[in-house]
Amino acid sequence: MNTNGAADRRAFPWRSRNGAIPARAPKTALLVARRIVRDIERMDLGPGDKLPPEKVMFQEYQIGRGTLREALRFLELQGILSLKPGPGGGPVVERPDASNLATLLLLLLQFSDARFRTVVEARSGLEPIMAELAATRISPEALADLAETITSMELHLDEAVFLEANKRFHDIIAWSSANPLFGYVVDALMGILDGTALGIEYPTHRRGPILKAHQRIYQALEQRQPEAAREAMRTHIDEYVRYAERKFPEVLNRRVVWDT
């Protein structure tokens, strides 16, 4: 007797007998949240712009107070809105960032019993592609910003500024791929895999090679050489992985949890 189906249903109780995940109708509040987002786009609202007062939104969407507030609260949690209290307050449009994505990824990884090496592997696969794309798409302004991070790292080799400039370097390249998905993903991954917070240390003798790797990547980007940029980034990330494996294997084997 094949018991795999029963076992799967015990492990994944939301699956039906044929293995499919049953579809559920979205809650009314979620449907209203989608309408609000569409209206934000239709009205060409940007960060700092106010949405209509609640009483106007009741009439516009034909819903109750509780449903509207649930929809607004959902959008606030996603970083789309902020809810200003008091007279003259109300919902204000914001610019979402990758922090919400990082939280969601942490929760998904935690409930998948994933280890931090999972994040390292994802970064190893993605960042060389981003560097390759950035070599033909990076703007002169972004290239200048990239050069500034290298100068900052060089001047502050033994200070915390070095680590901040290091993060900024990778962030600029991700966004310079001209693919916003890469930008948000790297922002989220860098937020999750903050080596200093996890316990991975970067002594001064280790920071020198990092600086040289950044200089090689920058040179490939400046010369608009996609293959060279990809390989330089791949080498850089591989060196980081080998260092972490050799010095901090317990960190890579640590389970990802939301409160990391």
pLDDT at position 170, please? Answer: 95
pLDDT at position 9, please? Answer: 47
Rounded to 5°, the CA angle 84-85-87 comes to 105
Q: Tell me how far CA of residue 13 lies from CA of 60, 106, 141, 190, in angstroms.
A: 39, 22, 51, 33
pLDDT at position 160, please? Answer: 86
Angle between helices 226-247 and 204-222 in degrees, nearest 10:
160
Residue range 96-123: average pLDDT? 92
In 3D space, the residue among 75, 10, 86, 79 whose CA is nearest the CA of residue 39 turns out to be 75
d(Cα 244, Cα 251) in Å, to the nearest integer? 8
Evaluate if residue 256 carries a pLDDT over 60.
yes
Per residue in 163-172, pLDDT (tens digit) is 899 999 999 9
Tokens 């609202």 belong to: 45
pLDDT at position 161, please? Answer: 93
Least confident range from 171-180, 184-193, 213-222: namely 184-193
Per residue in 199-222, pLDDT (tens digit) is 777 888 889 999 999 999 999 999
Tokens 């499919």 belong to: 20
Residue 19: Cβ-neighbour burial (10 angstroms; 0-12, 13-18, 19+): exposed
CATH T-level topology, domain 1-96:
Arc Repressor Mutant, subunit A (1.10.10)
Tokens 């209509």 belong to: 52
Per residue in 120-160, pLDDT (tens digit) is 899 999 999 999 999 999 999 999 999 999 999 999 998 88
Residue range 4-27: average pLDDT? 53
Q: Which amino acid is at 124?
A: S
157-161: long-range contacts, CB 8 A cutoff, minimum separation 24: 157/204, 157/207, 157/208, 157/211, 158/204, 158/207
Q: Tell me how far CA of residue 172 lies from CA of 87, 150, 168, 175, in angstroms.
A: 40, 12, 6, 5
pLDDT at position 152, please? Answer: 97
Domains of the chain, residue spans: 1-96, 99-252
Query: Which of 162 and 25 is assigned the larger pLDDT?
Result: 162
99-252 has the same fold as 1-96:
no
φ/ψ (deg, to 5) at 84:
-85, 125
Contact (Cβ atoms closer than 8 angstroms) between residue 96 and residue 74: no
* Other beta carbons within 10 Å of 248: 17
pLDDT at position 28, please? Answer: 92
Per residue in 51-90, pLDDT (tens digit) is 998 889 988 999 999 999 999 999 999 999 999 887 778 8
* Positive/negative CA dihedral, 147, 150, 156, 161: positive
CATH T-level topology, domain 99-252:
Four Helix Bundle (Hemerythrin (Met), subunit A) (1.20.120)
Residue 128: Cβ-neighbour burial (10 angstroms; 0-12, 13-18, 19+): buried
pLDDT at position 141, please? Answer: 98
Q: What secondary structure does DSSP assign to 24-48, as a single string? A: -PPPHHHHHHHHHHHHHHHTT--TT
